[in-house]
Structure 1
């Protein structure tokens, strides 16, 4: 699997897009929609999109594994955003129909404070030693998920730094349809980005766990392959999303041979998300977590312990995984 590093810049859409002055289907506070045209993006054509690997775009929150104080750590996505005064100026400039690239930022004064441990994502441009905001006025970046941090409690639930492991959902090695929840060494995930999905993330479109017994897992980006992806054609992709069981996904990310990543979200085609029964819940899953081998003193409510109690069990889908009370 291709390592993605910490690059989590805005991926281009596989089609050229246009802006409609209608409320966004994806973001409640956004008073416009970005929709796909029927023209394939020249950047995708240059990267030979027809030979790219198509993977499922998952609906969660982005994470990153890298070293922190010399040890493998999970990092949470945290974009630096403008303060109220700077944001007001930026929006006024944007509504004047001028190019956002022409707006002048003062990074030291215009942006909200972030923790000292914050780092910008790889790929963020710098000017005079300062990171350059993207077209939305944000600076993508990361903060380490430290122990007992209540702000990132769901991130914390899927890692144990004493054992150096993380809870990961991935394809099983012995069956093309089978998924597995496994305890994976953080050292094996270094410099990869992953998606945190679960009960308390993005309204839980995959139906994992419940309020009383929340379930969260990490999914490495690019690991859930789409086996029968349609051709990169507007109508064929629209029909696939609407009429195919495998098309009940949030979107597609194509991994091109030259390293280019290209995406398509359902909302680019004016299609609804979430859908009732996602394709992720069409696949059986087996639990391969054996906490006993680590001999650590943990509480009975620990997610690793709960999964250990199900070790070796197989379920029809990840949504069916529940812990015994």
Structure 2
């Protein structure tokens, strides 16, 4: 992989009436929870879009078959965007089957295990959308959160700058997707964002995503660019419902630091850490302690490898609800003195 940051293409806006692909590049959750999938499709139709499914959208399939559907969606000029249904845990095995030659620049929306594909597209100079998987936030019981839906709409239709703000309340517990009458997840008070060294204004392309998946990419050694290629970028980090310990978070960041990566990012956005594993409901005090320990682990790693970095904690991105969609490869401004984060669409 070359030692030069890619030149990012301009993404065309999606318009009402456009066809959009809905794919399952990781776990084919629509095969197991069709009602949730249908709720997400209904939200897309409510935005005036026409969802297009592929053979593996609702079928558990191997990496080569999932890659073939992705390539078909990107190669079809009548399909104006590609949205992942959900994440998973094996998308890394899909990447070798992808053909860069057929890629047409168009929005791809996903997060979690889709960090693999976001990063793969970043390496081609194709910006994408971190967030917006259809089954989690669009197919959400009770309907999508207004902030999540407005954020995805701005990203797809490219309606201009979006200033992010902390949610008043948030949800992190699972709802029962198999229930006949699913109830919305309970909400709790948001801790608010916290800023570390907010002394400057940084505008740069976003890179990063789910920390565990980035660590797998580092371990595979195939998809991470030379450290210098990330200079001046805004780093996005967030952890999953597998709730890695503070020690694990520190070690993963330490490995990135030893590779020379952490020192390249003048600004870092850290997502509000989900403190509930699948259907686990620890008490509020335990959840707060988990998040505090993770913040301390992040500060320790950056203190050792990038002491000048500006860091914003508990941003509503990734595995939390509501979820702000961020331009991945597109520009974000982190304004420390104003305590403001702006996504530029």
Same fold (TM over 0.5): no
Normalised TM-score (structure 1): 0.24
Higher strand proportion (structure 1 or 2): 1
Higher helix proportion (structure 1 or 2): 2
Normalised TM-score (structure 2): 0.23
